[in-house]
């Protein structure tokens, strides 16, 4: 027998709002994240498909056509020795993205290892953190410059130099996260249950460091791109033969007062790419930690 309702059902004052599922809805909920990712993907496409996007050999000299203003033939103009700036800028995206991603991955990995070691082995902590303090006292760009002065100019060495300069900050971050996680009740519980230290690190600590580390990695990627362009700009980075945004701007430096467009185009591309990565980082930070997102 069906029971009769005692009273009328109350009207739904706060109708449950279904959270839309699916990829598109997720992107709409995180506009910063999706916009940054979109811009970055666009740059990646430009970099990967550079040879098929109406470019010519970016190192081809054409002294007759030097310092041509932007036109239909040369969209971004030509530089002091007649190289097509549009082609150079597109190929230059490869260097910037390669350096940015490599440094982000390598510095995060190294920082993760050092941070975990120093968060768990108290004896090592003192030494490691003093070394990191010392390294952090050297302005990163100067550290990279000093290393580049001692090695042959190459993309690999640029990556290595910037990575070394970024490691201390990541290590500090991971160590901080590890130290606060160690105090969590579930870690105590795991210790009480007799879980070996190594599997505590792998199963309980490591997964929790990944979110802040991912966010940090995007910021490292952004700063590595800027550092690479600065190194190339002052002649301590990518060898001049390889077109990179810093190199193109370095070439345009002496002509700046008369031919400003040589510097303008690589500058715009560099800024947009770094902006894309920064937006991605901000978006990730808010998406991965919604509690903090409301505050900031």
Residues of this chain that interact with other proteins (CB under 8 A) are 130-131, 133-135, 137-143, 145-152, 157, 160, 222, 226, 229-230, 233-236, 249, 253, 256-257, 260, 263-264, 267, 270-271, 274-275, 278-279, 282, 295-296
Contact 77, 136 (CB under 8 A): no
Q: Alpha-carbon distance 287 to 274, whole Å?
A: 20
For residues 89 and 79, give the distance between their C-alpha atoms in angstroms, rounded to a whole number. 12
Helix (H) or strand (E) holding 202: none
Measured from the CB atom, the residue of 62 and 136 that comes closer to other proteins is: 136
Q: Which is nearer to other proteins, 86 or 233 (CB)?
A: 233
* Nearest distance from C-beta of residue 57 to other proteins, angstroms: 25
Q: For the chain, where are the alpha helices, taking DSSP H only?
A: 23-29, 31-48, 85-120, 122-136, 140-150, 155-182, 185-192, 197-200, 206-233, 245-252, 261-288, 290-295
Q: How far is the CB of 274 from other proteins (least distance, A)?
A: 4
Q: How far apart are CA 249 and CA 230, in angstroms?
A: 10
Please identify, using beta-carbon distances, which residue of 36 and 243 lies nearer to other proteins: 36
Nearer to other proteins, 29 or 130 (CB): 130
Among residues 90 and 143, whose Cβ is nearest to other proteins?
Answer: 143
Indicate the residue among 200 and 281 with the shorter CB distance to other proteins: 281
Q: Minimum distance from CB of 200 to other proteins (Å)?
A: 31
Q: DSSP letters of 224-275?
A: HHHHHHHHHHTTSSS-TTS--HHHHHHHHSTTTTT-THHHHHHHHHHHHHHH
User: Nearest approach, Cβ of 236 to other proteins (angstroms)?
Assistant: 5
> Contact at 8 Å (CB) between 244 and 232?
yes
Nearer to other proteins, 197 or 271 (CB): 271
In the 8-state DSSP scheme, what is residue 53? T
Nearest to 242 by CA among 67, 110, 88: 88
In the complex, the smallest distance separating the C-beta of residue 79 from other proteins, rounded to whole angstroms, is: 15
Q: State the nearest-atom distance from the C-beta of 165 to other proteins, in Å.
A: 10
Q: How far is the CB of 77 from other proteins (least distance, A)?
A: 16
């Amino acid at each position: 027998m069906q029971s009769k309702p005692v009273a009328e059902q109350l009207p739904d004052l706060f109708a449950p709002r279904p959270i839309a599922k699916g990829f598109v809805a997720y992107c709409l909920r995180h506009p910063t994240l999706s916009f940054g990712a979109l811009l970055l993907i666009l740059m990646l496409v430009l970099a990967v498909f550079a040879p098929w996007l109406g470019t010519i050999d970016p190192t081809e000299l054409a002294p007759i056509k030097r310092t041509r203003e932007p036109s239909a033939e040369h969209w971004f103009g030509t530089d002091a020795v007649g190289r097509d700036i549009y082609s150079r800028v597109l190929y230059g995206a490869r260097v910037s993205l390669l350096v940015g991603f490599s440094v982000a991955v390598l510095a995060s990995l190294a920082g993760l290892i050092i941070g975990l070691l120093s968060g768990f082995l108290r004896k090592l902590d003192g030494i490691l953190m003093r070394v990191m303090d010392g390294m952090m006292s050297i302005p990163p760009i100067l550290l990279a410059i000093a290393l580049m002065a001692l090695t042959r100019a190459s993309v690999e060495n640029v990556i290595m130099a910037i990575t070394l300069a970024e490691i201390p900050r990541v290590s500090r971050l991971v160590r901080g996260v590890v130290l606060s996680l160690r105090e969590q009740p579930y870690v105590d519980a795991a210790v009480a249950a007799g879980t070996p230290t190594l599997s505590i690190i792998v199963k309980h600590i490591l997964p929790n460091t990944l979110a802040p580390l991912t966010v940090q990695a995007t910021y490292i990627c952004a700063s590595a791109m800027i550092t690479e362009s600065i190194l190339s700009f002052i002649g301590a980075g990518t060898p001049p033969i390889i077109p990179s945004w810093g190199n193109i701007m370095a070439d345009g430096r002496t002509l700046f007062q008369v031919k400003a467009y040589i510097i303008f185009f690589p500058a715009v591309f560099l800024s947009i790419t770094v902006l894309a990565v920064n937006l991605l980082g901000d978006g990730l930070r808010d998406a991965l930690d919604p509690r903090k997102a409301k505050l900031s």
